[in-house]
Amino acid sequence: MWNFAGRQNDIQGHYFNDDGSRDYMNGNWISGIKAIDQARLGPQDNLPEEMKNNKARNVYYMLPLLLGLCGLIYHIKKNKKDAFIVFIMFFMTGIAIGIYLNMPPRQPRERDYAFVGSFSFYAMWIGLGVMALADWLTKLVKKESLYKVIMPVVFVLSMLCVPVLMAKQNWDDHDRSEKYAARDFAQNYLASVDENGVLITFGDNDTFPLWYAQEVEGFRTDVRILNYTLSGMHWYCEQLFNKLYDSEAIKFTLPKEAYGVGKDVVYLQDRTGDYYEVTDVLALLRDHPEKFVARDARGEEVTVIPTTHFKITLDVPALVKKGVIPAAIADKVDPEIKWTITKGSLLRHELMILDMLGTNRFERDINIMNPGYIQKVFTPVRNYSIQDGMNYKLLPYPASEVQPVLFNERENRYELQCFTEESYDYFLNGYADKDGQMHPLQWGNLNADIYVDPVSQNMGTVQRQTFCIAAKELLEKGDTARARKMLELGSEFFPKKNFCYDKYSMMMVDLYYDVFGKDRATQIWDGIFEYYNQHLTYYLQYNGTNKAQGVAALMQESLQMMYALNQLATLVLHDDARAQQCSDIIQQQGYQL
């Protein structure tokens, strides 16, 4: 129906919300015919600007679908056997694939590409539909001699009503000619890694652009990309033992065979309570595997490591000499990093990370896109990592040793500062290539008049927040000039026209007030207010138990944001009129916090 009736947007939906109610907002098919869409998806009036102006909102008025149905009927009447063959192909490349693959309903991404064959076979009927209309019109006027006149007219009208309409609707959200987000973000991530460093990524969207940058453009081929998600597969772990491009193989204590076929899991059992060196434990497992064998409840052999307490012993003088540990804090660095794994087992990729960290001993620069993913294996990762450029650098000492814990007066709490001094320079001035030439960071042209897809939306929103967090730290250090520059760059690269002001922009109000003053902060507040007021107005149109339930959670969120905006207006902007505006809306709905 997306292909032949129309599509609401390209935000992935699962038909149902998390609470089991119907999802009316994301990824549904629409026709553009108000009566049909309203009966299925609720009100089509007063759509929020963000929904109404979404370039991926494509309506075909069901014309391709209807023309295809005409072609199917015409095909059956003309040649049943031939029509049956096309139908079988349509079925086998569409519905049958869905049955055969038995895909779970919640996928990491939409799988419409799996059924593209069926779209092509249906398109044959669309083509036959043109002939059908010409034939039927000829019979209607009862003059076969007019066929040569009717056919061109039908053809032209069909062209205008189907392919031309579809091209017009689809062009703006399928045109990638001025969009470079995947390449630029990939280069930004790679550029912030030290020479011959390791960059741990998580999933396809993180990793594929990085592979492209290295494979096609030859950019930073000295960086070793380690996809934590893929390393659950034996064939991927085996590749980590090899040199790739200009990047040396990753050092492990366990041999390649320890991550081979069938080596999916090892179990942990604490028998002594002492902390053991990671490499010592894994060397014993490597050299004497028979000592680590036990039998599970089913009588099958399993590998059991008899400890959950691990440590990494650092060669502090050597790391100081390499510049990994600042000389100024060398005497404060504990030469032993100790932690406990609370899991009862480690899957292949988790064992691999434990092995790599213990064997590497911080001799090779390790960067992580998101430290939280390895926290179950290396529990102190959040305290031992610091944002360095686009990534988080893993440190052999707590980050608080080099970045002071500052007190946040407004939020009445202490918080760890997460940026290195080099990070500020990286975001403001860019990076130097191997010849020492500086290159400013590029952000995919996402500030141009282009279509910004949901993945790019998420990436851009995160980076705008990164600029804000960096500005906040600089402001707390008294560096207002660089804080101002950070905020200006964030707004320049990720402007409101492509990245609306919503809940993720709340921190900007406070920051802009401190850096630019009330007027600029108020503009952002107004943008957030308008966003949620439009959505609230739209949700209030939903009537009936089922349809209202489908937007209940969204309406609740909008009201919560009204309360948060009320607090911002009162405590930050000191604007009673705007605070009252939010209070009135909250009271009208009888909302109780």
Burial 381-404 (b: 16+ CB within 10 A, else e): beebbbbbbbbbbbbbbbbebbbe
Please give the full DSSP string across 408-444, using - where no structure is assigned.
Answer: ETTTTEEEE--B-HHHHHHHHH-EE-TTS-EE----T
Select from 117, 145, 174 the last residue of a domain. Answer: 174
Q: Which two tokens stand for residue 513?
A: 């007030």
- The answer to whether residues 24 and 86 belong to one domain is yes
- The pLDDT, as a whole number, for residue 436 is 85
Residue 520 in any domain: the answer is: yes
Domain of residue 226, residue span: 217-386
β-strands 224-227, 198-201 pairing = parallel
Decide if 183 is inside a domain: no
Q: How many folded domains does the chain comprise?
A: 3
User: Is 149 part of a structural domain of the chain?
Assistant: yes
Give the span between the Cα atoms of 370 and 42, in whole angstroms: 39
Distance from C-alpha of 373 to C-alpha of 394, rounded to nearest angstrom: 13
Q: Coil, helix or strand for 300?
A: coil
**Chain centroid to CA 155: how far?**
43
Give me the count of residues in the chain.
593
Whether residue 155 contacts residue 162, with contact meaning beta carbons closer than 8 Å, is answered with no
For residue 408, what pLDDT is reported?
57
The answer on 223 and 100 residing in a single domain is: no
Task: Indicate if 170 and 222 belong to the same structural domain.
Answer: no
408: which strand partners? Answer: 413
Residue 192 lies in a domain: no
Q: How far apart are CA 511 and CA 472, in angstroms?
A: 7
> Given 363, 386, 409, which residue is the final one in a domain?
386
Q: What is the pLDDT of residue 108?
A: 81
Distance CA 259, CA 267 (A): 14
Helix or strand (DSSP H, E) at 126: helix 116-141
The backbone torsions φ and ψ at residue 218, rounded to the nearest 5 degrees and listed phi first, read 65, 30
Matching residue, tokens 């967090």: 469
- 27 and 158 share one domain: yes
Do both 34 and 119 map to the same domain?
Answer: yes
Q: How high is the pLDDT of residue 299?
A: 76
Contact of 516 with 525, CB cutoff 8 Å: no
Tens of pLDDT, residue by residue, the chain (593 residues): 999 999 999 999 989 998 899 999 999 999 999 999 999 999 999 999 999 999 999 999 999 999 999 999 999 999 999 999 999 999 999 999 989 998 887 888 888 889 999 999 999 999 999 999 999 988 888 777 787 888 899 999 999 999 999 999 999 999 999 999 999 999 999 999 999 999 999 988 889 999 999 999 999 999 999 999 999 999 999 999 999 999 999 999 999 999 999 899 999 998 888 999 999 999 999 999 888 888 777 778 889 999 999 999 999 999 999 999 999 999 999 999 999 999 999 999 999 999 999 999 999 999 999 888 999 999 999 889 998 989 999 999 988 887 665 555 555 554 555 788 888 999 999 998 888 899 999 999 999 999 999 999 999 999 999 999 999 989 988 999 999 999 999 999 999 999 999 999 999 999 999 999 999 999 999 999 999 999 999 999 998 778 899 999 999 999 999 999 999 999 999 999 999 999 999 988 876 55
Cβ–Cβ < 8 Å for 484, 516: yes
- Is the pTM higher than 0.75? The answer reads yes
Q: Do 372 and 259 fall within a single domain? A: yes
Cβ within 8 Å of residue 233, ≥6 positions away: 348
54 in any annotated domain: yes
Residue in the structure block whose two tokens are 């919503």: 502
Are 29 and 142 in the same domain?
yes
Q: Are residues 224 and 362 in the same domain?
A: yes
Residues 148, 44 within the same domain? yes
> Do 308 and 244 fall into the same domain?
yes
Instruction: Confirm whether 534 is domain-assigned.
Output: yes
Shared domain check, 128 and 237: no
**Nearest CA among 350, 330, 310 for reference residue 396:** 330
Supply the pLDDT for residue 142.
78
Nearest CA to 586 among 570, 562, 568, 564?
562
514 with 64: CB under 8 angstroms? Answer: no
What is the rounded distance in angstroms from the CA atom of residue 396 to the CA atom of residue 453?
Answer: 38
- Verify that 63 and 154 share a domain, yes or no: yes
**Beta strands 405-408 and 413-416: pairing type?**
antiparallel
Q: Considering only CA atoms, which of 490, 486, 466, 464 is closest in space to residue 475?
A: 486
Q: Is residue 405 part of a domain?
A: no
Residue 147 is predicted with a pLDDT of: 78
Q: What is the pLDDT of residue 294?
A: 86
| Closest by Cα among 444, 531, 453 to 55 | 453
Distance CA 444, CA 460 (A): 9
In-domain check, residue 180? no
Q: Given 174, 200, 231, which residue is the final one in a domain?
A: 174
Q: How far apart are CA 54 and CA 42, in angstroms?
A: 18
User: What are the b/e assignments for 315-335, b being 16+ CB within 10 Å?
Assistant: bbeebbeeebbeeeeeeebee
